[in-house]
Amino acid sequence: MTLALRYAIRTDVGLLREGNEDSAFAGPRLLAIADGMGGHAAGEVASAVAISTITTLADHVPDNDLLDALSRAVATANRRLHDMSAEDPSVEGMGTTLTAMLWSGPKFGLCHIGDSRAYLLRGDELRQITRDHTLVQALVDDGRISRDEAASHPQRSLLLRALDGSPDAEPDLVVLAAQVGDRYLLCSDGLSDVVSDQSVQRTLATVPDPDEAVRRLIDLALRGGGPDNITCIIADVIDTMATTLIPSEKPVLVGAAVASPNGSATTKPRPVSPPARPQVVPHTAPQAAVLTATAVAGSTLTEREQDEDEEQGTARRRWPIVTSLVVVLVVVVAGAAYAGWNYTQQQYYVGTAGGRVAIFRGVDQRVAGLSLSSVYQKTAIPLAMVPSNDLTQIRATITSTGLPDARRIVGNIKRDYQQCQQAGLASAAYRARLTRYHAALATYRKQFGTTRPIRVRGVAHVPPRAPGPPPPFPPLCPAGTAGGAAASSGSGGTP
């Protein structure tokens, strides 16, 4: 029996990212995937460094001590990342996940750090054979949240361990035994965060061709919103002595490492694209290796529950779409609020302030208890002295087409107010004349015993002349402006 791999590899930038920070490699003896993180292009550099370093093992696979070879390669990559960060502050904090399989006959060394994943489909059963080095996985392990809660947890991408140049960057290392018919999947979180394990299992179990299966998985992630870079490697274990299937021989490099195959690229700023992966939680003690020695026999591999229902999977896939819609909604609401506020500042109306007529800037509305207007100009026109028809409108506020129009409205009110003032003055003058008339008439009656004309000793006497009818007083003018004349206007006739 001669075991070999028949593999396919593919990467996609996704629907929201500007660049691809994933790097991956697939060769007859080595499968590796890295998901970089860091500002600007630093994530691309980090994943390229990891892949370019570990691919040095592809052509020189040791028969024994697979883990030592992997460990040394990881240490080298980590040291390179440390040195690059020390030399260039702009890439400080960059890091990468790394999940790699180094094959030797029927066994392979598995190296893993971060939250990229390796799965095994054996028969129809899908098992995740790596354990995420994430905060939510630690919370699940502690029993503080459920797996369902972890799948939609907002901090589920927060790494506790990554290859970032720090001394804590220790990978999980284990040797596993493969079987003919095994199908392995390596993927970045651009797939596993979006596509449910159930959908992954169904695709892997029902699509025989590795290349077609990889295409379908990436398509599922894109249909789920594609918020992140998506990279997948599928490798089938075949017995070349017992099948007509052709093993893969051609090494393939994809993602950021293609642009800098030796990992020597310098960072070139490019637009930051959402959603960026959070940085690694610093100075966290390494977790115990998830895959223990007993896992070598394949009897205690980490087993993820396979009973996720389709509804849960659908909800998980919708998460990035919902998040994007919420962000868009917030931006739209904020923009509309600003546009609305800006609109109100172009509006003017006439109302009352402190018992006087005033021009207001804004609109006569309140939102959440806050007024959308303020006094722009208070006039000297007292409300008590404007005609009642104007007063009714002013109290209800008079809208205008702008500040000039508001001033025109105030001009009309002032004109009506002045007419009432003049009518009031005329009424007051008439009342004074009437008072004088009554006094003179009383004196006449006292002297002559009558209020009619009379001749005494040949001399004619006439009573004082009445002042005539009162001046007209606009009925809508307030009584106060008439000084009481309106009420007494009927008393001015000749007695």
Residues in contact with Mg ion by the rule CB under 5 A: 35, 188-190, 228
Query: Please, which residue, 207 or 276, has the CB nearer to Mg ion?
Result: 276
DSSP-derived 3-state class of residue 122:
strand
SS3 (DSSP) at 28: coil
We find the least distance from the C-beta atom of residue 273 to Mg ion, in angstroms, to be 12
Per the listing, tokens 């390796």 go with 118
Shortest approach of Mg ion to residue 293 CB, angstroms? 30
Rounded Cα–Cα distance for residues 485 and 471 (Å)? 9
Q: How far is CA 382 from CA 55, 357, 429, 440, in A?
A: 89, 7, 22, 38
The structure tokens listed for 205 are: 């179990």
Separation between Cα atoms, residue 318 and residue 260, nearest integer Å: 34
Which lies closer to Mg ion via its Cβ, residue 79 or residue 270?
270
Dihedral-angle region of residue 56 (phi above 0 means left; psi in -120 to 50 means alpha; beta otherwise): alpha
The residue (of 97 and 373) whose beta carbon lies closer to Mg ion is 97
Residue with smaller CB distance to Mg ion, 11 or 188 = 188
In this complex, which beta carbon is closest to Mg ion, that of residue 231 or of residue 373?
A: 231
Strand duo 107-113 + 348-353: pairing: unpaired
Assigned token pair, 202? 């169904």
Nearer to Mg ion, 158 or 207 (CB): 158
Which tokens sit at 279? Answer: 């940085």
State the CB neighbour count (10 A cutoff) for residue 254: 21
- Cα 166 to Cα 56, 77, 78, 240, 280: the distances in Å are 22, 11, 7, 42, 11
CB of 191 to Mg ion, least distance (A): 9
**DSSP secondary structure letter of residue 416:** H
Nearer residue to Mg ion within complex by CB, 189 or 236: 189
**Distance in Å, CB of 36 to Mg ion, minimum:** 8
- Report the nearest approach of Mg ion to the CB of residue 95 (Å): 12
Residue type, 212: E
Nearest approach in angstroms of CB 11 to Mg ion is 11
> By C-beta, is 182 or 189 nearer to Mg ion?
189
Q: Other CB atoms closer than 10 Å to residue 409's CB: what's the count?
A: 21
Tokens, residue 340? 């609305």
For residue 436, the one-letter residue type is R
State the nearest-atom distance from the C-beta of 349 to Mg ion, in Å: 55
Residues ≥6 apart with Cβ < 8 Å to 143: none
Smallest gap from Cβ 193 to Mg ion, in A, equals: 8
Q: Taking CA 32 as the corner, what is the angle to CA 29 and CA 35, rounded to the nearest 5 degrees?
A: 175
Calculate the alpha carbon distances from 45 to 18, 236, 456 in Å: 15, 30, 131
Give the nearer residue to Mg ion in terms of CB position, either 171 or 190.
190
DSSP alpha helices (H): ranges in 169-308? 189-192, 197-206, 210-223, 256-259
Q: How far is the CB of 8 from Mg ion (least distance, A)?
A: 20
Residue closer to Mg ion (CB basis): 194 or 372: 194
Q: Which is nearer to Mg ion, 35 or 172 (CB)?
A: 35
Closer to Mg ion by Cβ: residue 190 or 225: 190
* Residue 127 CB, nearest approach to Mg ion (Å): 22
d(CA 179, CA 125): 14
In angstroms, the CA 292 to CA 276 distance is 33
49, 88 Cβ separation under 8 angstroms: no
What does the block give as tokens for 371?
Answer: 């007024």
Least Å distance, CB 189 to Mg ion, is: 4
Least distance to Mg ion from the beta carbon of 224, Å?
14
Outline where DSSP puts E strands in 70-106. 95-96, 98-104
Strand partners, 239: 3
